[in-house]
Structure 1
Amino acid sequence: YPVTKTPGMRYLHDLAEAKMGYAPDEESALQAHFTNTPPAIADLDGDGEPEVILLASVQNASQTDREKGVALWVVGHDGSRRPGWELPFHAPGYLSGLWDYGGNIVAITNQASVADLDGGSPGLEVIFPGFDGRIHALSAAGAELWDFEYTADAEVMTGGVVIGDLSADGAPEVVFATYATADDKSDLFVLSSTGALLHQLPLPRRGAMPVPTLADVDGDGTVEIVISLKDAEDKVESVRVYTVAGSATNCLLWPTGRGNLLRNGHVP
């Protein structure tokens, strides 16, 4: 298959510096680091052209300080920045997440989920975890709609969110699980489309590193939440399946960690 590569433009936050290919002060200039970034592809603004949506870790251009949070980028198929996204959205807070933790606990995956959280506003929304213990939700225009603090503990993390209507009321919920370096610090969270906490249930041992899956596991027409646990108990418990009474399967907007059953991050 042919491979199309983004033009060799350095992803410095400042567009003028990026066009030059360098920053006059690389100690203070910010740039993206995409080592742990699976992209999403969606027509974010509804203009008929798909965008590439990337969540990067942030470092200074000299790479002497790599713990500067995360930034969300929206670019075209050719790597050019989309109107309104000339600067990426920067969530600068940092608790942890850039580095692996040891004990087979991996760093946070910088992945964004894309869905229509608010049918009354134009375009799609983007939801992602930062390195700051928060879930962030942005509009198609790059405005932050809300954030939710799920932890203030540097040893509690999440890999990302899934999105679906669990209450059959026409408004989607945001679902995610946390994992930790120690036992009994992890939870399953369900948020409303506006970022309000609806449910928080404890997960055993070190929680769940994978993003949950929303699916009708038993074919009864309702949605279950599937959690793959970090620490399995052989022949006892490796996966948890939570029932959601009153749910329906007709509004699963981003039901897997990578958006769909192909797990390719594409929103058709």
Structure 2
Amino acid sequence: MHSTRLIGLLFSAVFSCTLHAQTSPQIKTGFPVFLETIRPFKSLEGPTLADLDGDGQLDIIVASGRKVYAFNYLGETFPGWPQNTSFSAMLSPAVGDLDADGNLDVVVFDREGYSRRSFIYPWDHQGRLLPGFPLSYGFGDFALTLYDLDSDGKLEIIGSFDKKIFVFHHDGQIATGWPQSIPGFWVNSKASVGDLNADGIPDIVFALGRETERYTEKDSAQGRIYAWNANGELLPGWPHSTLRGYTYVAGSNPVLADVNGDGFLEIAAGTYGFIPPQYGGYVQLLDYLGNSLPGWPIFTVLDDSLSSFEAAPAVADLDRDGELEIIIGDDFDHVAAWNPDGTLVNGWPVIYGRLDKSLVFRSTSDEPTVGDIDGDGELEVLVTNSQADLVDDVWRGRIYAFKQDATQLSWSPLRPRQFASSNAVAMGDLEGDGTLELIAVSGDIFDGETWLTVWEIPGVPYVAERFPWPMFGHDRWHTSQYGFKPPDEPAVHVTERREASILPSAFVLHQNFPNPFSHQTGIDSRTPAGTSIRYELPEAADVRLRLFDVLGKEVLLLLAARKPAGKHEIYWEGADRLGKALPHGIYFYRLEATPASNFARTVVRTQKLLVLN
């Protein structure tokens, strides 16, 4: 009894404490990797992280020029990669299991400006082009988004071409109800996807701007945000129009999050002002009906007017107060974080001119990423910036790391090779060893050299919950939806059963049965093979079941999915994701349930089990 309690206390202490003192990132062996030389520098938005081959390790997928690359954690290219496109595939790849065959696919947007043609290229994880592709349409300008819009288990591809918004099924066929077009407007963002009104049907959000020849119409709204359901039906209250003289611009993709805790998703985005006197921009936060929330929009920080916004926001509970904050950088001088009521988070904004007086170009051109990058249990914000050295005729990139109070980490900024703007920095555990890595693309806008750099931070653990906005578009589907986790993540084989009964009154994680157990019979006739884990949810929630060893290191992700209220049970056979039996010993399994009504809250329950292999 005492030894069991001691092990439990040890697990809790190891998991919850600050494991290591702050250390500086170190460039990982095998990096930086030279991608190519193509003038001008053509790799935007940032890399995507995904486990392409299902080996439990994250791979890096990045587009640059006419090539799409896939690298493992050693900087080695995957067999079958890179793949070539027709013209310029410089935007962030989307990654998901399009055809539900159990393997992830890579989807990229390719364009040619002179002929005003665009293409969609999807490859399987081995670099083989999927049947029915590529698709060729008119000119487009934005990354693609993936989502299962019709609940058939296969993913749709959402993008824009010829001033129209398209939804394609996994086989390239256009979905019913699409495309959608708005006369007099052009599409000015990628798609953001989530269930805005909690009706169980995914919704699609786009920002649009007026056509160029109409920019001088001062009395008309220059920008709009539209929201359609999966069937192409416009949602009540939409579109939302910008204030006179403002539009939404390329890069400021709308982001979705339940910021005010009402059970519905809000939409945040930045704007661009171009008609005198509106040369600046503002940040908007809208409810699911298209109405501005109290305290929004926001035009100033402290005594400064905001500049225009080309970067998208990120969303996170930055100050751990149980509420989500909106974090965004503008085109000149500011990175700010606001509370849901529109007040600034304590310590913010960052003003580049005060931070470094040598800076001339002070813009933030891509969305921040957010995570606990020093292992202290608090969140930090990563943003990119580049400074022109007019003497040596080069750009010098910077990656700034700001704490929750907007002060810098001791090693900030990192200095990647040359130009670093216009690319979000990805965060993840590439090799599955529990250590955090930072991944960035940079290059020379003059000679076109492009580089992929990975830093590892010794002693800083990667725990997924501490990285609420880890890459461009939030996740590898590019949904830009806070709290969303693609359900096609490769995982171990489990069987789930839901019991029909009276709804539970609390979140409960039961002791597994049988316990102890083994991966297979034959070890001992009295030791059963496999085990069942039961849990109860009083309301619908995003559920994760994780397995840890006695030192607090995550061993296995058993389940990651949104589940309805009720009693649930999974059967686990005792093997890892490759089918190999886990070593004999004591493990802890943990339920993490984030209620659909409140993404800012996560309920945690832990139990112990014994594996006899």
- Could you give the per-residue CA deviations for residues 110-147 of structure 1, whole angstroms, max 9, x where no partner exists? 3100001112x242011100233121011111101211
Residues 33 and 57 in structure 1, CA contact (< 8 A), matched pair in contact too: yes
Structure 1 residues 1-268: aligned runs within 5 Å:
1-4=231-234, 7=238, 10-12=241-243, 31-36=245-250, 37-59=252-274, 63-68=275-280, 70-82=281-293, 84-85=294-295, 87-91=296-300, 93=304, 109-119=310-320, 121-145=321-345, 146-151=348-353, 153-158=359-364, 159-180=366-387, 182=389, 183-198=394-409, 199-231=412-444, 238-250=451-463, 251-268=466-483
Residues 177 and 188 in structure 1, CA contact (< 8 A), matched pair in contact too: yes
Could you say which residue in structure 2 is the equivalent of 1:15?
A: none
The alpha-carbon deviation at position 201 of structure 1 amounts to 2.2
Q: What letter is aligned with 2:298?
A: F
CA distance in 1, matches of 2:374, 2:455: 14
Closer, same or farther: CA 55–254 of 1 in aligned 2, 3 Å: same
Report the TM-score, using the length of structure 2 for normalisation. 0.35
Report the TM-score, using the length of structure 1 for normalisation. 0.76
Closer, same or farther: CA 226–9 of 1 in aligned 2, 3 Å: closer
Identical-residue share of aligned pairs (%): 19
Residues 50 and 76 in structure 1, CA contact (< 8 A), matched pair in contact too: yes
Name the SS of the counterpart of 2:349 in structure 1: strand
Residues 208 and 227 in structure 1, CA contact (< 8 A), matched pair in contact too: no
CA distance in 2, matches of 1:116, 1:88: 20
Q: What letter is aligned with 1:117?
A: L
- Could you give the per-residue CA deviations for residues 158-193 of structure 1, whole angstroms, max 9, x where no partner exists? 223100011222101111221345524321111111
Name the SS of the counterpart of 1:223 in structure 2: strand
Name the SS of the counterpart of 1:41 in structure 2: strand
Closer, same or farther: CA 179–122 of 1 in aligned 2, 3 Å: same
Q: What letter is aligned with 1:115?
A: A
Q: What letter is aligned with 2:238?
A: P
Deviating runs (4+, > 6 A) in structure 1? none
Closer, same or farther: CA 179–72 of 1 in aligned 2, 3 Å: same
Residues 473 and 480 in structure 2, CA contact (< 8 A), matched pair in contact too: yes
Residues 67 and 94 in structure 1, CA contact (< 8 A), matched pair in contact too: no
Larger Cα-atom Rg: 2
Unaligned runs of 5+ in 1: 13-29, 99-107
Could you say which residue in structure 1 is the equivalent of 2:495?
A: none
Q: What letter is aligned with 1:78?
A: L
Name the SS of the counterpart of 2:423 in structure 1: coil
- Could you give the per-residue CA deviations for residues 24-49 of structure 1, whole angstroms, max 9, x where no partner exists? xxxxxx65311322000000011212
Name the SS of the counterpart of 1:170 in structure 2: coil
Tell me how large the CA RMSD over aligned residues is. Answer: 2.7
Residues 310 and 330 in structure 2, CA contact (< 8 A), matched pair in contact too: no
The alpha-carbon deviation at position 53 of structure 1 amounts to 0.9
Residues 299 and 306 in structure 2, CA contact (< 8 A), matched pair in contact too: no
CA distance in 2, matches of 1:110, 1:189: 15
The alpha-carbon deviation at position 8 of structure 1 amounts to 5.1
The alpha-carbon deviation at position 77 of structure 1 amounts to 2.0
The alpha-carbon deviation at position 65 of structure 1 amounts to 3.6
How many residues end up aligned between the 2 structures? 233
CA distance in 1, matches of 2:319, 2:263: 19
